[in-house]
């Protein structure tokens, strides 16, 4: 068994869906597994020139690869089937490849109603937090208890370990949200309710020694959707929002924007063990023509894209990370 992990190094919305889609297209994976989150996620994918936003469903369905919603996820059944229908309307054979871990938990109407009362954290109000709370309080509802999901439900241990093809299994873990929102490592309490790190992927039934590559994904600037004050001061951030289409893929809310926090990215690289780094949205600052990075309390300004790329490479050289800078919506 071999596993690669795609993990967001910031606050979500960094292009994990694009990177996972690219790796799935180029790789030989037998399984794509979503390892955390639920319909609060929104992964934007351009497949054969068409834009898709997936909330629950792993990107493997686009390529005929077994696609599993793992036990670290929570599932809104109505939203899931809506997503299935939307993809099937575009000729994607979702039902043939989609599977759901029997021990994934269900988001109920009660969870959604409760989440809508939030006015302090700035949640997506999709019921994820209350669903995870009930999971850990040992009073949740699991996928195996949901009759509508019966055709999709699998036992993860049997799927991955009681399998005569064990030695040939190659997994791509597709994470949701980001390191800055992780329930343990994020800016608490302005966090999500799940584990967004590589550790969250391992909890879905794969031994740590199986991990081969950890793909860290970031943007050349940062965005955040939530209640805390994050937005930078100056008209340039409004310009970045419009040029970069920085609106939440799930909620449609305008994202708060600031310059890249290099300290946060380095911390996320270290804790996740990142050895492949993709920095997206280079094309946006190409158009805006401002290049700035926070390193601690210091704000560094650069003359060009080449200068900032060189500085990032030199600053991360000792971490032995392969770095890719991308300005393409569909590929890295």
Catalytic residues: 13, 43
d(CA 209, CA 198): 12
Cα first-last separation, the chain: 25
d(CA 115, CA 124): 8
Secondary-structure percent of the chain, ordered helix, strand, coil, rounded to 5:
35, 25, 40
Question: 138-146: long-range contacts (C-beta < 8 A, 24 or more apart)?
Answer: 140/105, 140/106, 141/105, 141/106, 141/108, 142/102, 142/103, 142/104, 142/105, 142/106, 143/75, 143/100, 143/101, 143/102, 143/103, 143/104, 143/105, 143/106, 144/102, 144/103, 145/106, 146/77, 146/106
d(CA 20, CA 44): 10
CB 105 within 8 A of CB 140: yes
CB 107 within 8 A of CB 131: yes
d(CA 152, CA 100): 6
- Residues counted in the chain: 332
d(CA 158, CA 175): 22
Going by C-alpha positions, the residue among 126, 48, 124, 125 that lies closest to residue 87 is: 48
């Amino acid at each position: 068994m071999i596993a690669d992990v795609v993990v967001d190094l910031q606050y979500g919305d960094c292009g994990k869906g694009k990177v996972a889609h690219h790796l799935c297209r180029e790789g030989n994976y037998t399984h794509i597994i979503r390892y955390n989150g639920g319909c609060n996620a929104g992964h934007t994918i351009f497949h054969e020139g068409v834009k898709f936003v997936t909330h629950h469903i792993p990107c493997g369905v686009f390529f005929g690869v077994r696609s599993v919603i793992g036990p670290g996820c929570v599932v809104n059944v109505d939203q899931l089937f809506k997503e299935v229908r939307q993809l099937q309307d575009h000729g994607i054979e979702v039902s043939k490849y989609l599977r759901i871990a029997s021990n994934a938990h269900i988001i109920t109407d009660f969870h959604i109603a409760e989440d809508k009362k939030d006015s302090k954290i700035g949640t997506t109000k999709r019921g994820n937090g209350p669903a995870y709370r009930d999971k850990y309080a040992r009073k949740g509802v699991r996928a195996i208890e949901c009759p509508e999901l019966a055709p999709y439900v699998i036992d993860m241990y049997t799927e991955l370990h009681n399998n005569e093809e064990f030695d040939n299994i190659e997994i791509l873990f597709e994470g949701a949200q980001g390191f800055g929102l992780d329930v343990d490592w994020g800016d608490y309490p302005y966090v999500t309710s799940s584990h967004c790190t590589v550790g969250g992927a391992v909890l879905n039934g794969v031994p740590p020694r199986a991990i081969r590559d950890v793909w860290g994904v970031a943007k050349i600037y940062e965005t955040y959707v939530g209640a805390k004050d994050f937005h930078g001061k100056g008209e340039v951030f409004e310009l970045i929002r419009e040029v970069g289409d920085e609106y939440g893929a799930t909620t449609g809310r305008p994202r708060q924007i600031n310059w890249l926090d290099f300290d946060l990215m380095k911390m996320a690289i270290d804790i996740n063990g990142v050895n492949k780094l993709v920095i997206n949205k280079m094309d946006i600052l190409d158009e805006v023509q401002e290049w700035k990075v926070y390193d601690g309390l210091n704000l560094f300004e650069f003359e060009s894209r080449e200068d900032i790329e060189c500085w990032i490479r030199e600053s991360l050289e000792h971490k032995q990370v392969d770095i890719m800078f991308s300005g393409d919506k569909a590929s890295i």
